[in-house]
Structure 1
Amino acid sequence: MNGKVQLGDFLQARRSRLRPDEVGVPTYGERRRVPGLRREELALLAGVSASYYTRLEQGQSLNASPEVLDAIARALRLDESERLHLHDLARSTQRRGRGRRPAPERVTEATGQLLDALSDVPAIVIGRRGDVLAWNRLGHALFAGHLDPGAVDRPAERPNMAGLVFLDAHTRDLYADWPSKARAVVGNLRLVAGQDPDDAALHALVGELSAKSEDFAAMWADHRVKACAVAVYEMRHPLVGPLTVTQQTLSHGPGPNIVVATAEAGSPSRTALTLLAQVTAPAAPAWPGTPVGTA
């Protein structure tokens, strides 16, 4: 995921999705071989020279100023997440890093305490690449009840949310609108890739998913980015049936974050979460001397 290549591909992908009529560029009825704006048209909208923009898109200009990047973002009609992603990509072209494997992610004591405090709410701890580092009982039951709950404690076996969404049939069936969830996962990975294009572990994950899932490969090539802070999903849980939850990322600085799932008070979905807590609760130990199977 070379930074220069990522920057050029992102600019080209976004430029190809802008129709001339959307931004007031006259075409005089001409037929175009490819959709979207031409480079010189985008450059005109951004207030830069066509040659400069071409060099930027081809990865030959590595010193774009923040002001120029913001002008290009406005011309491309990027939202805030996309604008920040553009800046990340531009910064990454100025680094001369080599593929590296960052230090393993760990759950801090503070994060563990917060996870314990959320015992009545489905919660999981997610690393920056989507690795599940920890979960509480309800988090495991809601998101991955078919997996060994102890897998998160074994680094080599930890599930990855992107891997589950694209390669695991249970997780795919869990989301009524699977494409929406899948696009959110890919969009978030794109943001991470822009922030650290030299992350060897992320390279390996993207390569594996691209090879095993045509859906992932197509969505990854689309270059859409999405910050997944809050999202509402309809789920079809095999134990408690349909429910609608709000998934929120509780960010508390650099490092892994906690993702929680909540439902509106008094709603059928809240009732479903309560039922899930009941049916997955560990069996109460029998009193000493009480025969098994007796009350």
Structure 2
Amino acid sequence: MASRSELGEFLRSRRNRVRPEDVGIPSYGPRRVPGLRREELAQLAGISITYYTRLEQGQSGQASESVIEALARALALDDDERAHLHDLARPTPGKPRRRPRPAKVRPGTERLVHAMGDVPAVVLGVRTEVLAWNTLGHRLLAGHLDPAAPGRPADRPNLTRRLFLDPHHRDLYARWPEEAARAVASLRLVAGRHADDRELAELIGELTMRSPEFAALWAKHPVATCVSGTKYFRHPEVGELVLDFEALLLADEPGQRILTYTAEPGSASEAALRLLATTVHTRQTQLTS
């Protein structure tokens, strides 16, 4: 039922952004809704207004492939939004939300991120929980936290929770609004694919209740795949960094990915990252000497 409710909210959010004049529908006088009316969208998609209304109100079962594609075309959805619509409109039936076992990182994966000595690397679970990180990844993202925390399921840092609720983590991002919008758009996509995940639902509920900024972003139903891009840091030890990130999906562990950060060769950010790595190595030497 939650997926059907979210389907209706998603459809409303997307039809509200389509201007009638952009799709050839004449508008006479003021309108009560900012975008398309239900009957206008149904007409554009070639389906009955009765069926569309039932779909938006969560009163219809799984929509057919042809209906989903017709709605996606009528709403001019991008690839991420189209995939999200499929997830919401055709959920796995009879699968209640469950509390899964704590995720585990494979020993080989953990060895791999530690072998990336001068590249910050983090292994994330489906809910953006940190399953493992190398020393430089820890110092870049959360040097104020216990480096051993990812090894304890009850204490694992969650990057999305930290982004909205941890002042240290918030201050780390020079462009926090941009980072927050990207995090919510990515989480929306994940939530559509894992509607049965109880811990994911609890995370979203917690953030909605505790962070007005998260709640406002979540209500807009943003959807985006965030597997690469640029992040702007304001690091407490080495100052400003502009780093490119890559999310490397793990084929044998669905939902898990390795997040890496690199700097443009010859840039001030590369020098700052190298300085951070040097301080890490120096402290490790002092601890072992």
Measure how far apart 1:21 and its partner are. Answer: 2.2
Partner secondary structure for residue 100 of structure 1: coil
Distance 1:287 1:194 in 2: 47
- 1:73-92 CA distances to partner (integer Å, 9 max, x unpaired)? 11111110110111011121
Residue 197 of structure 1 is aligned with which of 188, 195, 198?
Answer: 195
| TM-score, normalised relative to structure 1 | 0.92
Measure how far apart 1:103 and its partner are. Answer: 2.2
Q: Report what 2:83 is aligned to.
A: 84
Measure how far apart 1:285 and its partner are. Answer: 5.2
For 1:220, give the aligned amino acid: W
- 1:245-280 CA distances to partner (integer Å, 9 max, x unpaired)? 111100122142100111111111111110110122
Residue 134 of structure 1 is aligned with which of 120, 132, 152?
Answer: 132
Q: Report what 2:20 is aligned to.
A: 20
CA contact (8 A) 1:106 1:256 kept: no
Based on CA coordinates, which of the two structures has the bigger radius of gyration?
1
Q: Report what 2:11 is aligned to.
A: 11
* Structure 1: runs of 5+ lacking an equivalent: 289-295
Measure how far apart 1:16 and its partner are. Answer: 1.1
Change (3 A) 1:44 1:286: closer
For 1:279, give the aligned amino acid: T
Q: Report what 1:122 is aligned to.
A: 120
Distance 2:21 2:245 in 1: 37
For 1:22, give the aligned amino acid: D
CA contact (8 A) 1:47 1:71 kept: yes
CA contact (8 A) 1:130 1:162 kept: yes
Partner secondary structure for residue 187 of structure 1: helix
Moved more, 60-69 or 37-46: 60-69
Q: Report what 1:180 is aligned to.
A: 178
Partner secondary structure for residue 270 of structure 2: helix
Aligned ranges for residues 188-227 of structure 1 at < 5 Å? 188-227=186-225
Distance 1:37 1:145 in 2: 48
Moved more, 112-121 or 83-92: 112-121
Distance 1:239 1:23 in 2: 52
The answer as to 2:155 corresponding to 1:157 is: yes
Aligned ranges for residues 31-70 of structure 1 at < 5 Å? 31-70=30-69
CA contact (8 A) 1:105 1:255 kept: no
Measure how far apart 1:287 and its partner are. Answer: 10
Moved segments of 4+, more than 4 Å: 285-288
CA contact (8 A) 1:165 1:172 kept: yes
Partner secondary structure for residue 132 of structure 2: strand
Distance 1:220 1:197 in 2: 15
| TM-score, normalised relative to structure 2 | 0.94
Q: Report what 1:243 is aligned to.
A: 241
Partner secondary structure for residue 244 of structure 1: strand
Measure how far apart 1:286 and its partner are. Answer: 9.5
Distance 1:109 1:18 in 2: 49
Partner secondary structure for residue 284 of structure 1: helix
Q: Report what 1:269 is aligned to.
A: 269
CA contact (8 A) 2:114 2:135 kept: no
Distance 1:34 1:58 in 2: 17
Partner secondary structure for residue 250 of structure 2: coil
CA contact (8 A) 1:210 1:217 kept: yes
Distance 1:63 1:269 in 2: 49
Moved more, 78-87 or 109-118: 109-118
Partner secondary structure for residue 236 of structure 1: strand
